[in-house]
Chains A and B, each alone.
Chain A
Amino acid sequence: MTIGALHVARTGLDAQSFKMQVIANNLANVNTTGFKRDRANFETLSYQMMTQPGATASADNRYATGLNLGTGVQLAGTSRIDTQGTFATTGNALDMAIDGAGFFQVQLPDGRTGYTRAGNFERAEDGTIVTSDGKPLIPQIQVPEDATGLSVGSDGTVSASVPGQADAVELGRIEVARFANPSGLQAIGDNMLVETTASGTPQVGAAGEEGRGSLRGGMLEGSNVNVVEELVDMIETQRAYEVNSKMIQASDEMMKNATQTL
C-alpha cells in the first residue's frame, strides 16, 4: 500500500535531518581555525502528474488545471560560505591569517597539494615550517636553528634575525593560491581542501597581489560560524522536522481509521 503523503513527509524528515548534521558540523567547528561554514541546499523532487490539465472529467466537464502532486524534497548538496572569519592576535610568530581571498598550500602525504585557511603553523625539528599536524608548507622554508625574532610580512616574506648579522635575513616567501570558484574545492578533513574541476586551477603568487589576500603574521583567522545564526537555523530545522513528523502521524491516523472503520 502506498500512501503519497507518508512518503513525501519522509523525504522531508530525511532532508531536515541532513541539514541538522550540517548545522551540527558547523557548530562543532566553531573554534576551528580557518573553518568555513557549510550551508545545506534543498531542492524539490520532481512532480507527478495525476490528472492532465484539460482532461475530460465527465461528459461536459474538463479539468481546468489538473493535479500535479509534488513528491517531496531532497538535499541537493552543501555549499561552503567563504566569508572572512574573525582575526585574533596570538603573538605567535608563525601564526598567519589571510586577509582576503586565497589559501595556504600544504604538501599532503599522498603527494597532492592541500589548500587551507588555517594558518597555525609550527617549526618542525628540522627547521621547516609545518602545519600543527606536521604537513610541510609549500614552498618549503627553512628556519635556521639559532634564528630569533621570526616575522611574516604582509606579502608573505618570512624574515628572522640570525646571530652575527645586524639586519634581519629573508628566509623565504610564503605564496598564496587562489581559485576562481573556491566553493568548488573539496573538503577532505583536517582543515584541508583539494582542487577539483569545479574549483578551477590555482593561481599561485605573492600574497596581496592580483586579488590574493595579504598575510597577517601573529594572527589567526577564526571560523566564520556565527553561533546565533546556527542556533536559529537549528530551531528552524527542528521545527520543520516536527511538522513533517506530524504529517506522518496524520497520514497514519487516516489509514488507521480507514482500516478500523471499513
Chain B
Amino acid sequence: MDRVIYTSLTAMRGSQARQTAIANNLANVNTPGFRGEIAEAQSLWLQGSGIGGRAVSAEEVVGADMRAGTVTTTGRDLDIAMKGDALLVVQAPNGEEAYTRRGDLMLSASGLLTTGDGSPVQGAQGPVTIPPADSIQIDDQGGIWVVPTGGDPDNPQQVDRLRLASPAGSDVVKGLDGLFRVKNGGILPDDPEARVATRSLEGSNVTATTALVEMIEASKSWDSQLKLISDAREMDSATANLMQLPR
C-alpha cells in the first residue's frame, strides 16, 4: 500500500493546527495589545531507503506578528499605548520579567498596578504600588504622578516610572501565558527614549480580512489533502482489481 496517505495525514494535522491558530487570532480581534500569531509549516525529510521523495510537514507557530495595532483615544487616565516597538515590562505569574503591549492598566484592591489581564507592571523597584491618592496620571515617558489624599491638585508627585523596554536586536517570543519573553532567556534593556500615548489604548493587530483569507487557505489545504487520500484509495483499489485472480 502506498504511504502517501501518511504524508497527507501530517499535512492535515498541520492544517488543523493552523486553523486553530487563525481561530485564536480571530477570537482576539478585539483584545487590547494582542499580537497575532503566524503559523507556518516546515518540511521534515524522511531518511531511509527509497527514492527520498517524501517529506512530512510539521506545523509551527513561528512567532508573533509585531506590527502595531490601531491606537484609539479612550480618555481613561490609566490607559496607555506604547509608541513605536516599545514593550511594557510586567511580572509573569512565575515571577520572571516579561513584556506586553497591553496598556489598559488597573488598580487592584491593594493599590497594585496591573495590566488588564492581571500582570503586575514593573517600576524602577519592582511592582508598582500606588498609595491612596486623589488622582493618578501617567506622563508620556511612563512616569506615574499622583496627588496624595488631601494634597494640592496642582502639585502632583512622581511615585514611580513604568519600565519600558526596547526589543530592538532581540528575538522576543510569546509564552504560554501570552506574555513576551526573550528567546532562550535573558532580559531586554530599558529604553529611556520610549514614549507612551496617554489616555489611549492599542487594539489587537489582527486584520480580520487577512485572517479570513488565511482561514480559507487552511480549509482548502485540508480539502486538497483529503482529495489526495481519496485518490490514493482509488489507486489502491484499482491495483487490487487488476491483480485479482480470474474466477
Contact = CB atoms under 8 A, between A and B. Distances in A.
A253 interface: yes
Nearest to B21: A69
A70 B25 CA distance: 8
Interface string A1-20: 00111101101100110010
Contacts of B147: 211
A68 B63 CA distance: 10
A42 interface: yes
B27 A11 contact: yes
B68 interface: no
A250 B27 contact: no
A89 interface: no
A248 to B, nearest CB: 9
A44 B134 CA distance: 32
A262 B226 contact: yes
A8 B24 contact: yes
Nearest to B36: A70
B75 interface: yes
B17 A244 contact: no
A243 B28 CA distance: 11
A254 interface: yes
Given A210-B149, A254-B222, A66 B61 contact: yes
A210 B134 contact: yes
A44 B20 contact: no
Nearest to A71: B24
A63 B149 CA distance: 55
Residue among B30, B42, B176, B212 facing the most chain A CB atoms (10 A cut-off): B30
Interface of A is mostly: mixed
A3 B16 contact: yes
A106 B121 CA distance: 36
Interface residues of A, number: 72
B133 A42 contact: no
A73 interface: yes
B66 to A, nearest CB: 15
B208 interface: yes
B19 A5 contact: yes
A2 B21 CA distance: 15
B189 interface: no
A240 interface: yes
Contacts of A3: 16
Interface centre among A49, A50, A243 (most CB of B within 10 A): A243
A57 B23 contact: no
A58 B46 contact: yes
A165 interface: no
A178 B135 CA distance: 11
Interface stretch (A91-99, A107-115, A135-143, A197-205): A197-205
Contacts of A15: 27, 30
Contacts of A39: 74, 76
Interface string B124-135: 000000001111
Contacts of A240: 26, 29-30, 208
Interface string A228-262: 00000000110110011011001101100110011
> Which of A48, A69, A210 gathers the greatest number of chain B CB atoms within 10 Å?
A69
Contacts of B229: 261-262
A8 B23 contact: yes
Nearest to A63: B60
A49 B177 CA distance: 11
Contacts of B84: none
Interface in B38-65: 39, 42, 44-47, 58-63
Contact of B60 (A64, A76, A244, A246): A64
Interface of B: 15-17, 19-32, 34, 37, 39, 42, 44-47, 58-63, 74-76, 104, 106-109, 111, 116-118, 132-135, 147, 149-151, 153, 173-178, 208, 211-212, 215-216, 218-219, 222-223, 226-227, 229-230
8 contacts: A4-B20, A41-B104, A61-B44, A101-B134, A243-B26, A251-B23, A257-B226, A261-B226
Given A244-B27, A257-B226, 9 more contacts: A15-B30, A41-B116, A42-B28, A70-B21, A70-B28, A178-B134, A203-B150, A244-B26, A258-B226
Q: Give the 9 A-B CB pairs with smallest separation, nearest first.
A: A12-B27, A70-B24, A211-B134, A4-B20, A8-B23, A43-B117, A5-B23, A5-B19, A42-B31
